[in-house]
Amino acid sequence: MKTLQELRAFCEGYRLKAFYADGIEMCNTDEWVVWGGYDINFAGHEYSGHAKSHIDLYVDAYKAGWTDSIGEPIHSFTVYGETE
């Protein structure tokens, strides 16, 4: 499993790629990605009150491969976009 620092870096890169390269409205994001031993849920502010602006993403990271019950996330944090 990747470290928290590596996870944060991946999530920051994911937000930048999604917003700038793909033109995705971050507020409508609700996606799952498997990376580095984690099942990662990215949520924009339409899906999470923790994402305060339209370019923020809230992250819940779970141990990859859960089956019966997702349980509590291992890590949760917000990846903030630049302010205008």
For each of the chain's 84 residues, which pLDDT tens digit applies?
999 999 999 999 999 887 776 566 778 889 999 999 999 999 998 999 999 888 899 999 999 988 888 889 999 999 998 644
Q: What is the pLDDT of residue 42?
A: 96
Q: What is the pLDDT of residue 22?
A: 59
CB 29 within 8 A of CB 43: yes
DSSP secondary structure string, the chain? ---HHHHHHHHHHHHHIIIIIS---GGG-EEEEEETTEEEEEE-TTT-TT--STT-EEEEEEETT--S---S-SEEEEEPPPP-
pTM over 0.85: yes
